[in-house]
Amino acid sequence: MKWQVHKAKSHFSELLRQAEEEGPQIITRHGTDKIVVLSIEAYQKLEDAQPNFKDYLLSGPKVDDFVVDRLDDTGRDIQF
């Protein structure tokens, strides 16, 4: 459901109840979506779904056995 700012202010307890029972509530200002009010359960689900930075880095491709084949060519001789 969408709420205009002035309505959200005057019906704040109703806004909170609906966020808990019905899901995210969007608050608009001048017809533009600005804020989302979530229940703590919905917020915690979002937080738990995101890996922390360390886990994100460690989940990347493993490069332990990564070998780079290099040519033995050192270039050409140049006289100065």
Alpha helix stretches (DSSP H) within the chain = 5-10, 12-22, 40-49, 53-58
- The CATH number given to 2-58 is 3.40.1620.10
Q: What is the pLDDT of residues 14-53, one digit of tens each?
A: 999 999 999 999 999 999 999 999 999 999 999 888 878 9
Find the distance separating the first CA and the last CA of the chain, reported in whole Å: 77
| DSSP secondary structure letter of residue 16 | H
pTM: 0.61
What does the domain layout of the chain look like in residue ranges?
2-58
Beta pairing, strands 25-29 & 32-37: antiparallel
| 32-37: strand order across its sheet | 2-4, 25-29, 32-37
